[in-house]
Structure 1
Amino acid sequence: MDVHYQLAKNPQPNIFPYTMRKTHTTPPLPPLNALRAFEAAYRHSNITRAAAELGVTQGAVSKQIKLLEDFYGAALFKRSHQKMTPTAKAAALFSVVHSALENIRSVTRKIKGTASAREQLIISCLPSLSTQWLTPFITRFQKRYPSISIHVLAGDGAPDFDSGEYDLAIRSSTHPAWKKLHSQKLMSERLVLAGSPTLFKRTPLTKPGDIKVHTLLKHTTRPELWEWWLAKQKVEIAKPKYSIGFEHFFMLIEAAKRGMGVALLPEFLVAPSLADGTLTAPLSEKYISKSPYEYYLLTTPTKAKRPVVQSFRKWLATELQTQG
């Protein structure tokens, strides 16, 4: 008998009762690499810096962002030669993607539990402070907190926490007005007149007036320092002898060590050089002058909640208090 005739005469029960039931499909997710490229580009507002962070070419980052824009069918950045400006849709996406990637990194550190997954703390610091002052503190901090990895970036001017490049910033100011930031005063600035021992042996400097015969090393970022100090000491010089100008204090310190002239330097920066004898402060303590500048440790309210940031802020405050 024909099998088709039998099936038609005696219909069989449906042995796959659920195959015709409608299902709800999960929307596809964008590629992870595209999200990583977008997140880095958003933080830096710059393709070059994003590529450097990810260890890929600029073209690769641009390609991934274009892939993401095609996926969403919307532009995520307004591009110019110097900068990438995120759109409103990009801002909404970034808040979610950044949080998700941070959570993934955090869980990864906990699961791996290895030295390679140490907590990271990035500090933006004035160039001279990073080389002359901060380094010894970091050495001691890492002995106390070996699980925290510290990276120091040179930076001056107003801190840009929106870039996402660092957690803390050390800056100086005469009129601190750090709006919407957590600020912690580190110290005031006292200026010391210093030069090489050979220079002062050749041309003694025992009182402020003796400065008239010396060459003055000038800080180009703070050109008013000498005028301020001379006025404070009531010394008048018709035509001060200025040497080459230097942008940073650490440059002034090196020039002074080489006998190129006399420099006005923050006491806490020059202390190691005075201690090892490579520089001398010829005038007495009463001629050390407090300047209008103060130094601050800055962070955002959000970053201030991070345990690693809290640990460093508390530890540094204790260290400075101990040093007096």
Structure 2
Amino acid sequence: MNYRHLTPSMSLLLAFEAAARHQSYTRAATELSLTQSAVSRQVQALEQQLGLTLFRREGRQVRLTDVGRLYQRELSEALGRIRGATLQALAYQSGVGTLRLATLPTFGSKWLLPRLNDFYKAHPGMLVHLHSRIEAIDFDTSEIDAAIGVASRDLPGLISHRLHAEELLVILPAQAANEQPHWSPTRISEQLLLNVANNPHAWGEWFSHHGLPHRSMRLGPSFELTSHLIQAVQAGIGVGLVPRVLVQDELAKGALYSPGLAFASQRSYYLIYPPRNEALPSLRAFRAWLLEQI
């Protein structure tokens, strides 16, 4: 087998990948600072070298064939790894670098951001680009280097650093502190219970923890962001069950009231990243700082 035949030049691969991503030779040409005819010639040269039809023409538009779509998926991942390797090499050379970090929105705003300036003071020149993410991160298709999220266990195929267990706390509007009788688990169970969408079983776990019948649950609206649930509780819409770490400021200022009744959920906060990113200087520095904070 001729391995040169299986290793097309980078210029051909970049032209194909850009054209495939945009489904347009014109937009690919703009991205690559080439002419449309140059992109077309490079794609044709790649098709001739491989003996494959990667695009089909539909009028003035181009569409990927099935084999073209497969080739694009595999090639995009490979090019992403090449770019990542280049960034690592540049970071090693300079001794500084950037970290593209995904984090849960409310954790990022409530816990991470107030502390991040301490990281910058300890590591001048390094930059942490924060990306809010609720869904699971696909490190093969995104440009994220690492993520902070919650999970019930280490995630397969990723390096996971357990930060701390998730302790959930019942929260009520501030005026509830002055109400009688005492806010017992039974009384809490009679209220409208607000949920966070990514943890729909939290109240069920809480009811089981306190030995309460699940049939008495009055589940209220669900919120994508914990910060929105906190605002809903402050507005008197219902009762919330949220991680203690995300409401410490509101409790300290008297903006919320908690009768206690905390319990450890089955989840923990994790710093996660693919093994290929482990040696990134920016990630190594951030990881060491983060674990010290915890």
TM-score above 0.5:
yes
Show the 5 A alignment for 1:283-294: 283=260, 287-294=261-268
The correspondence for 2:145, drawn from 143, 146, 167, is 167
1:42-85, Cα deviation, whole Å (9 max, x unpaired): 9xx9549xxxxxxx95773495864542454457967379x954
Show the 5 A alignment for 1:47-196: 47=22, 60-61=30-31, 66=40, 68-73=42-47, 79=64, 84-86=69-71, 90=75, 94=79, 98=83, 102=87, 119-174=97-152, 176-196=153-173
Amino acid at match of 1:128: T
Q: Distance in 1 between matches of 2:247 and 2:74?
A: 50
Amino acid at match of 1:198: Q
Aligned residues of 1:125 and 1:171 also touching (Cα < 8 A): yes
Show the 5 A alignment for 1:167-246: 167-174=145-152, 176-202=153-179, 205-236=182-213, 238-246=215-223
Deviation >6 Å, runs of 4+: 34-39, 75-78
Amino acid at match of 1:218: N
Amino acid at match of 2:237: M
State whether structure 2 residue 273 is matched by structure 1 residue 303.
Answer: no
1:6-28, Cα deviation, whole Å (9 max, x unpaired): xxxxxxxxxxxxxxxxxxxxxxx
Q: Distance in 1 between matches of 2:192 and 2:84?
A: 56
How far 1:101 moved relative to its partner? 5.5
For residues 170 and 61 of structure 1, do their structure 2 counterparts lie closer, same or farther at Cα, with a shift above 3 Å needed? same
Cα RMSD (Å): 3.9
Aligned residues of 2:251 and 2:258 also touching (Cα < 8 A): yes
Q: Distance in 2 between matches of 1:95 and 1:229?
A: 43
SS in 2 for 1:162: coil
SS in 2 for 1:297: strand
Aligned residues of 1:195 and 1:280 also touching (Cα < 8 A): yes
Q: Distance in 1 between matches of 2:212 and 2:73?
A: 59
Aligned residues of 2:88 and 2:280 also touching (Cα < 8 A): no
How far 1:97 moved relative to its partner? 5.8
2:229 corresponding residue in structure 1? 252
Q: Distance in 2 between matches of 1:292 and 1:89?
A: 36
Aligned residues of 1:76 and 1:89 also touching (Cα < 8 A): no
TM-score (norm 2): 0.74
> Over alpha carbons, which structure has the higher Rg?
1
- Identity value in percent: 24
Aligned residues of 2:172 and 2:238 also touching (Cα < 8 A): yes
1:96-115, Cα deviation, whole Å (9 max, x unpaired): 963786489669x85xx9xx
User: Bigger shift: 143-152 or 65-74?
Assistant: 65-74
Structure 2 unmatched ranges of 5 or more: 1-8, 56-63
Q: Distance in 2 between matches of 1:180 and 1:137?
A: 29
Q: Distance in 2 between matches of 1:91 and 1:238?
A: 50
TM-score (norm 1): 0.68
How far 1:222 moved relative to its partner? 2.2
The correspondence for 1:312, drawn from 267, 271, 286, is 286
1:155-206, Cα deviation, whole Å (9 max, x unpaired): 23433111241111112112x2422321111110111101111244356543
Q: Distance in 2 between matches of 1:194 and 1:289?
A: 13
1:244-290, Cα deviation, whole Å (9 max, x unpaired): 2212322211111222111011111111221222111123xxx3101
Q: Distance in 2 between matches of 1:300 and 1:318?
A: 21
SS in 2 for 1:86: helix
Structure 1 unmatched ranges of 5 or more: 1-28, 49-55
